[in-house]
Structure 1
Amino acid sequence: METNVNPLAVILVYFDSKGDRLLYRYPYQTLGQTEVANDEQRKSRKRNPYAVANTDDLLQTPTHLGAAKSQGQLQGFADEVLSALFAVKPQLCNQKFELKLNDVRFVSHPTLIPHKEQRSGPMAKQQMLINIVFALHAQASYSIVKCYHELSKRLGLALKFEEQRSGYLTEQTAQMARTHDEQQQQPLERTLELIAERCSLAQALRSIFHDLCTTGLLSTSLNHNLTLCFCLPAKAHQLHKKGSMVDPETIDRCLRALKPYHGMLLLVDFAELLDCVPPTGARMLWQLVDVYDPLISLQSMSSNADLSIEHVYKLVSHLVYWAKATIIYPLCETNVYVIAPDAPLHTKSHLVEKFSARFAGMSLFEVISDFSLPTSIGHLTTPLQQPARQGILAQMVIWMLQHHLLMQLHTYVQFMPSEDEFGDSASCSNHLRDAISDEEGDQEPDADELHGSMLSMSSHPLPVPAVLVGGHRREVSEDHSSLASDNIAVQPSSSHKSNFSITASMSTDNCDSLDSMEDEQKLKELLQVFSDADRAAIRRIPASANVDDLSLLVKLYQMGYFKSEHHLEEIMYFENLRRSQLLQLLDKFRDVLIIYETEDPAIASMYNTK
C-alpha cells in the first residue's frame, strides 16, 4: 500500500556520559498528552450498565499502545520511553537496529561518534551516540525497511564526517539541549518549533521528512557543506505511474539485463536531473545529456559522449533508480507498440488535457486508438507523408511512453517441432506404401507375363539392318567395339573443340557431384546436434537442403536463442545479423520455429502494479 511507504515520524536520540535524551522529533505531536486525552475520552464515555468485565485472561493486560498510529502520525509513546529504547548500548551500534511495537516498526542505524576536541586527548575514548530513528508502519515491506535503514546509516556517517571536520554535531546537540532546558515550562510543541528555528540539523530532519512523504527524493545540505542525496524508489516511481510499487531489487534485476543495444528515455526535464547527483558527478552526467537521443542506443551515446560503456551504464542506472529515466529500445519504424493494460485512459484523466496542451489540435484518444492492436510505427507512416508529420508522430509516441500509456512488444522465437504433424505424415506415408503394394499384388500376373515375354524376346536375335560403310554393305550385328571404331571413323570431320567440350562437361559434372557429396556430408554433420525426431522434422523442410540456411539455424539453436528468452533485436545485435536476414530464416523454417510477441519481462517488471 502507498501509505505504508511514508514514515510516521523521525526521531533524534542523543546519548553521552551525561545520559540519554530525545532532542528532536517531527511531527510535533505531544505523545504523552495524546495518551492522557484518549484515556479521559474513554472514561467519559457512557458505560453500558449490563456490560461484564472480562478478567479471565490475565496475560492480556490492557494497554494504551493499541492506537500507536493515528492519521499517519505516531501516537501513544512518551519521549522518555522512546529515549530509553533508542539509547542503545555500544554493542548494538554501527549496525541495523529494528524494533516493532504493536503496529509501529522503528528502524535506525546507531552511530558512535568521537568528540572533535577529544580525538587526540587522553579522553579520546569517550564517544557520543547519535541515533536517527524512523517510525514506520508495521506492514512496511522488507525493501522499504531496508531503504530507511540505509538513509539512517548515511545520515550517521554524514554527521560523523561533519563532527570530525568542524564539531558540527557537538554544537547542534548542545543548542538543542539548551533550548529544552530553557523551555521546560513551555508546551513541548513550542519547544520543538523553537529548536527547528535555531538548529540547522533540526531543519534538515524536518525537510527530509517532508521530502519522503511527498516525492521520495531528497537532496539535503548538512552544515552548508555536505550534500546528502537519497531516493526512496517505492515513492519516487509513483510520481510517473501512480500505484506502482517499485522496490530496489526489481530495479537491480532490470539494470542487470541492460545491454548496449538498449536506449534511454528521460522522464523529466533537463533542469531536474541535477537534483539526483552530487556536484562531483554533474560533469559526466551533462556529457551524457548533451548527446541524449531516444533514437540511438547506449553504445552510440557512449561513443558520442566519449565515455566508456561502463560509465554510461552507471549513469543510466542512477537515473532509472531515481525515476528520472526509463529503459527502452531505441525508437525506430519496426518497433511494435500496444496500449498498456493499466493505462489511465478514462475520460476524467488529467493526461487528456496535458496531451492537448502539448500537441495542439490533437486528441489523445484518437492518436492512441491506432495502437489498440499491436502496431509498428512504420505502419502508421507512408512515403507520401511530410517529414514534419512523421516527426510529430515520433514525438507523440515518446510522450505516451513517458507517461506509460504504451508498451513495446518484442518478437521471441521457440523451437518446437509438431509431433502430431510428424505422426500424421508418417501414417500417410505408410498408407501410401500399402496402397502401392496392393496394386502391385493385383497386377502381379500381368507383370510376370510381361517379364516372360521380354525374356523370350531377348533370347532371340533381332533383325539388324545393314548399313553402308565405305561403299561396302556391313551388318551391324558385329562386335560392338568394331562398330564404335567405325562410328569414329565415319566422322573424320569432328573438330577438337567438340571433343574438349565433351571432356569439360564431364569434368563439370564430376565437380558438381563432388560438391553435392560434400554438401550432403556437411548437412549430416550439422543435423547431428538435433535429436532423431527433430532431425527428421527439419529434413522435411526444403530450406534444410541449403547449407548456409541450415548452418545459421544450427548456430542460433546452439547459442540458445530459440528458447523464448531472447528477442529478435538481441539476436541481431549479438550475432551481427540484419532484420531481413533473420526474418527470412524464420520464414523458411516456420514449420519448426514458433514466434510470438510480448513485452520484455526485465523492463516490464519495474512498473507492474502491486
Structure 2
Amino acid sequence: MDINPLAVILVENGSKGDRLLFRFPYDTQVTPSYSKRTRTKQLQTPYSQGSAEDMPKTNIAYSSTISGSVHSFPSKVLSNLFAVKSELCGKKFEIKINDIRFVGHPLLVYHQGEGKCSSSNQESILSFNVVFALKASASHAVVDCYHEVSKRIAAALWHEERRVAYLSAEAKLMTSTQDDVSSELPDDPLDVPYHLILQRSQLARDLRRVYEDLQTSGKIHLRINQWILVSCCLPQKIYNLLDPGLVIEPADIHACMEALRPYHAILLLGDKEKVINNLPLDSSPALKRLINLANPLKSLQTLAADADLTLSHVFQLVGHMLYFGHATIIYPLCDSNVYVLAGSANTSPQSKLADAFSETFSSTCLIQIMSEFSVPVSLSQRRNPLATPEQESEEIQIIIWMLQHHLLIQLHTYVQIVVDDMHPRLFNRGSFRSAKTTRVTFASRQSTPDELNAGSSLIRMPSDSDMASVVSDEALSSPPSHKSINSKAPWSNIHLASLSNAEREAVLQVDAAANSEDMDLFARLCKYFRGKHHLEEIMYLENVRRSNLLHLIDKFRTILVTFEHEDSACSVFYKNSTT
C-alpha cells in the first residue's frame, strides 16, 4: 500500500506575497564548505539553539528516488501552487502532478484590513497551507486521512497565531534564515537553508516529527507551541504494522461501529500497561479506566457498569481504541462460542507468528492448534474434563492470542424459516445444518484479570441455574399460558403477522404449534428467523435463554434451518487480509 508520505511542506501567503517556508525531507547533500563557514555564524545569531552537532539524529532512511522526485519541484513553483486564493481557504486542497499527489487544508488567518494586515511596516500572514506529498497511486481513503491530518495541524497553528502570533514568529525566523543564506551563498543548493531552519525553528522540528511519526507508527501525538494537542492517526498504517497483510480502511471501522452491540466485548491487542503507555499523557481518565477493566469475558454493557460509564460513552471510547489499533471486537468468551481458522491465516511452520507463539507457549505448537480449528469447533468441545486449572487457563490464553492475531473467526448461528413452496433463491435447504438442542448457557460469574493470571478456569460448564448476564429474572419468567390451539386458531394469525400465508400455514402444521407456550414464544421470535440475527443477538434483544431458544428451534426444525457465519461487527477485521 502507498501509505507513507513523501514530504511535508509549509507555505504562507502574506502581505508581501507567497513563500515556501519549510519542506522535509530536504536535500541532505550539503556542501562541506557551507557547513564549515556557517557553524561560527549560527552561534552568533539570536535565533540559534546550538551547533550542528546538537541536532537530533533521525534513524529513517529516506529514499533518494522519492525525495528527489519531490525535491525536483522548485520552491517558487510549489509556493505558487499551494498559496491559494482566499476563496479556496477552509476547503480540501488536492492537486496531482505527474506521479505525485499533494493534499492539504489551507486556512485564512487574517483578512485584508484586519489585525496585523493593517500595519504596513511589517509582513503579516494572510493564509497558510500544510501540504503532504503522496504517491499518486494512494487510495482515496489514504488521501482523506492525510487531509484530516493537515486540517488538524492547520487548526492548531491558526489558534496559536490568533492567540500569540506563533506562526508569524516562526515564519519570520524561517524567511530571515533563507534570506541570509541566499545572500551569502547564492551558488549553494536551494535546500541548504532548511538544514539551518531545522536547528532554529521549533515549528520546523514539529513538522519533521509529524513526517517521521507517519512514516514509522502512523500515529501523531504532538503539541503545537507546547499548547495545542494534535492527536490523529492513519488506521491503514497502524493495522498494516499489526498484520502486514491486513488492509483496514476508516470505512471498515465505521461499519464495525454501526454493527456494534452492547453484548459485544473488546479484546486488547497488547498488554494493558503497553496500551496505556501509548496513550497521550492527557488522555481521558475514563479511557484508561476502561482499558484497565477490559476483559474478554465481559460484554460492553457489563464493562460500562463496572467502569461507571454510560453505554454511549463506552461506545465512543471503543471507537477511539479501534481507530488507533488498540483493540478489536469479539463476542465474550464462553463455552458455546464456535471458532474456525481464518481463511487468511498463514499456516507455514516457518512463519513469524509461529515463532512468536512458541516463545509465548512453549508447551505446544501453533500449527497443531491451527489444525484443530480447521473445522468449526466450540470451546466446550475442546474442554478436557481432566485438565488442571493451569492447563485450562493456558488454553484460554491460546484462544485469546489467536484472536489478537486474527487467526480465528467466531461463527454465529443464524436461523431462517423455509417452507417447501417458497423456492428461496438465497437459501438452499441442503446447505444448512439441522438444528441441535445443545444445552449451553453463559456463566453468570465474570472472572477477573487476576484470576486469569492465577491460572483459574475462566470458562466452565454452567449449571442449570446459570443465566445470561443481560437477562433479568422477570424477563426470564414463562410467558402467559394459552389454551391449546389448533391450526385454525385466529389469534395465531395475528401473532404471526410478519409471516406470509404459506409460512403461517406451515407453522401451524407443526406438532409443537399445539403447545400454547411454544407457539407464543415462536410468534414472539419469528421476526428474527430471516437469517439476519444470530442466536446471541436474539437472546439479548428478547431476553431469552440459549437453552429455551435452542429447544424452540429443535421443535420447529421441520420449517427452520440454521447456518453459521461470522458477525458483521467482527468480520471487517478479516475480509481484506491476504496473508
Bucket of the pairwise TM-score, normalised by the shorter protein: 0.7 to 0.9
**Structure 1 counterpart of 2:7:** 9
Q: Superposed, which structure 2 residues align to 1:480-495 within 5 Å?
A: none
User: 1:458-477, aligned counterparts within 5 Å?
Assistant: none
The residue number in structure 2 matching 1:532 is: 501
Residue 582 (structure 1) aligned to one of 549, 561, 570: 549
Letter aligned with residue 93 of structure 1: C
**Residue type of the partner of 2:535?**
L
Whether the 8 Å contact between 2:26 and 2:67 is mirrored in structure 1 is no
Alignment of 1:381-392 (within 5 A): 381-392=383-394
Selected match of 1:380 from 355, 379, 382: 382
- 1:548 aligned to which of 509, 513, 517: 517
Alignment of 1:141-220 (within 5 A): 141-184=139-182, 185=185, 186-220=188-222
Are residues 222 and 23 of structure 1, via their aligned partners in 2, closer, same or farther at CA, if it must alter by over 3 Å? same
1:379-414 deviation per Cα after TM superposition (whole angstroms, max 9, x unaligned):
111333222211111111000100111111111111
- CA shift for structure 1 position 336: 0.6
Q: Which deviations, in whole Å up to 9, do the C-alpha atoms of 1:440-490 show, x marking residues without a partner? A: xxxxxxxxxxxxxxxxxxxxxxxxxxxxxxxxxxxxxxxxxxxxxxxxxxx
Map Cα deviations across residues 351-399 of structure 1 (whole Å, 9 max, x no partner). 1121111122221112222211101111111333222211111111000
Aligned-pair CA distance for 1:275: 6.4
Q: Which has the larger radius of gyration?
A: 1
Distance in 2 (alpha carbons) for counterparts of 1:16 and 1:122: 12
Corresponding residue SS for 2:96: strand
Percent identity reads 43
SS in 1 for 2:4: coil
Show CA shifts across 1:274-322 (max 9, x none). 4665544431112212221111100111101111111111111100011
Q: Which amino acid aligns with 1:536?
A: E
User: Residues 27 and 73 of structure 1 are in contact (CA less than 8 Å); yes or no, is this contact kept in structure 2?
Assistant: no
Partner letter of residue 160 of structure 1?
Answer: W
Q: Are the equivalent residues in 2 in contact too, given 1:10–1:134 (CA < 8 A)?
A: yes
The 5 A counterparts of 1:181-580 are 181-184=179-182, 185=185, 186-274=188-276, 278-419=280-421, 520=489, 522-523=491-492, 525-526=494-495, 530-557=499-526, 560-580=527-547
Conserved in 1, the CA contact under 8 Å of 2:340 and 2:377? yes
Amino acid at match of 1:331: L
Alignment of 1:90 onto 2:86:
yes
Query: Which residue identity lines up with residue 84 of structure 1 in the other structure?
Result: N
Tell me if structure 1 keeps the 8 A contact 2:12–2:125.
no
**Kept in 1: contact 2:109–2:127 (CA 8 A):** yes
RMSD of aligned C-alpha atoms? 2.9
Letter in 1 for 2:531: S
Secondary structure in 2 matching 1:188:
coil
Relative distance call for 1:517 and 1:569 in structure 2 (3 A) is closer
Q: C-alpha separation between the residues in 2 aligned to 1:162 and 1:271?
A: 34
What letter corresponds to residue 346 of structure 1 in structure 2?
A: S
| Matching of residue 106 in structure 1 with residue 108 in structure 2 | no
Distance between the aligned counterparts of 1:271 and 1:281, measured in 2?
A: 14
| Kept in 1: contact 2:9–2:23 (CA 8 A) | yes
Q: Which amino acid aligns with 2:84?
A: V
CA distance, structure 1, for counterparts of residue 154 and residue 486 of structure 2: 77
* 74, 79, 88: which one aligns with 1:78: 74
Aligned length: 479
CA distance in 2, matches of 1:72, 1:415: 63
User: Residues 320-342 of structure 1, C-alpha deviation per residue, up to 9 Å, x if partnerless?
Assistant: 01111011101111111111111
Gaps spanning 5+ residues in structure 2: where?
A: 30-63, 424-481
Indicate conservation of the 8 Å contact 1:543/1:549, yes or no: yes
- Structure 1 unaligned blocks of 5 or more: 32-67, 422-512
Identify the structure with the greater helix proportion. Answer: 1
Q: Using the TM superposition, give the Cα deviation of residue 114 of structure 1 relative to its aligned residue in structure 2, in angstroms.
A: 3.9
* Shift of residue 591, structure 1, vs aligned partner: 1.3
Partners of 1:247 and 1:540 lie apart in 2 by 49
TM-score normalized by structure 1? Answer: 0.73
Q: Distance in 1 between matches of 2:390 and 2:495?
A: 50
| Cα drift, residue 109 of structure 1 | 0.6
Find the aligned partners of 1:248 and 1:556 in 2 and give their Cα distance.
35
Against the structure 1 CA distance between its residues 100 and 171, is the aligned structure 2 distance closer, same or farther, given a 3 Å change threshold? Answer: same
Residues 85 and 154 of structure 1, relative CA distance in 2, 3 Å threshold: same
Contact 2:340/2:373 (8 A) holds in 1: yes
Change in 2 beyond 3 A, CA 1:121/1:419: closer
